[in-house]
Structure 1
Amino acid sequence: MQDERELFQVMTRRFGLLNKNCCTVGGCDISLVQSHILYEIDRLHKPSMQQVAETLGTDITTFSRQVQSLVKMKLIQKTPDPVDRRIHTLSLTTEGKFVATAIDTQMNDYLEEVFSYMSDFEKETLIRSIKLFNDAMGKSSRCCAPVSG
């Protein structure tokens, strides 16, 4: 039987997490980090830059560079807060919403296909196990522990 680390190595590769770009939508090559940023901006209502950076567990400097590239691609809009100009909120442009929706559809289609090879019981067991594993990871004091959110 494969050891636990090897199982995660294989799963990481099969999910494409090591690929330079996770997808191409509307002529835009989107990295995995950018995909996560678009997802969080879409999920949250006009979040601040700090809020999204903390949710993703990235430092603000690296995050700012990714935001700038998404602004240049015209996928997100960065707006100064009217009350506190030091704070910037993020929102998806029309094109950004299209790209985020397309990525979401691609991922849902992929997961639907993968789950089609499993019984309902196996799928429910896997989802429950992933939730349990995510909760345990969130309690870990080791490096790379995700920020709660």
Structure 2
Amino acid sequence: MNHERPRGYVLDGQIGFLLRKAQQRHLNIFATHIGEDLTAQQFAALAKLHEGGPSSQNSLGRQTAMDVATIKGVVSRLKDRGLVDKSPDPQDKRLHLIDLTAEGRRTIERVLPLAREISRMTLAPLDRAEQQTLLRLLKKIT
């Protein structure tokens, strides 16, 4: 059996692998510090609604980079917790708009400072210039 190491492809140097490791590190920091029993996906949905106001479920999914099934589950769980509500879209009765409830607004406003700290902790191994470069490059490839 040949146990030679393959040349030219080392998993530890691949962008997808490194992004996944960075995401796992960030999600661990997030889960440890966010409180409120929120997943990163639930937080993202609340944050986008807080930023932009009511949104259709499909649009919210696109804005938060979630597929249709995932955003449906996220919205359902947030609705069950009383953090979001659905109402008919006045422009298009076929659609429903998702919006924060008063409790959802209080929740996201409570956790936004924690989220800023989580981002700071995620980027802590980098100096300021490296942080800005990383964020700029990630935006460029997404």
Counterpart of 1:77 in 2: which secondary structure? strand
In the alignment, the residues of structure 2 paired with residue 79 and residue 22 of structure 1 have an alpha-carbon distance, to the nearest angstrom, of 32
Q: How does the TM-score come out when normalised to structure 1?
A: 0.69
Gaps of 5+ in 2: 1-11
Richer in helix (by share): 2
Gaps of 5+ in 1: 139-149
Q: Percent identity?
A: 18
Cα 1:123–1:98, aligned 2, differ >3 Å: closer, same or farther? same
Which of these two proteins has the greater Rg computed from alpha carbons?
2
The alignment status of 1:52 with 2:57, answered yes or no, reads no
Q: How does the TM-score come out when normalised to structure 2?
A: 0.72
CA contact (8 A) 1:41 1:91 kept: yes
What amino acid sits opposite 1:11 in the alignment?
A: A
The alignment status of 1:125 with 2:130, answered yes or no, reads yes
CA deviation digits over 1:5-54, x for unaligned, max 9?
A: 565454323212598787332xxx21111111111111112122221111
The alignment status of 1:86 with 2:94, answered yes or no, reads yes
Superposition deviation, residue 109 in structure 1: 2.5
What amino acid sits opposite 2:130 in the alignment?
A: T
CA contact (8 A) 1:22 1:30 kept: no
CA contact (8 A) 1:47 1:90 kept: yes
Counterpart of 1:74 in 2: which secondary structure? coil
In the alignment, the residues of structure 2 paired with residue 110 and residue 50 of structure 1 have an alpha-carbon distance, to the nearest angstrom, of 27
Q: Report the number of matched residues.
A: 130
In the alignment, the residues of structure 1 paired with residue 65 and residue 124 of structure 2 have an alpha-carbon distance, to the nearest angstrom, of 32
Runs of 4+ aligned residues of structure 1 deviating over 3 Å after TM superposition are 2-10, 17-23, 110-118
Cα 1:65–1:11, aligned 2, differ >3 Å: closer, same or farther? closer
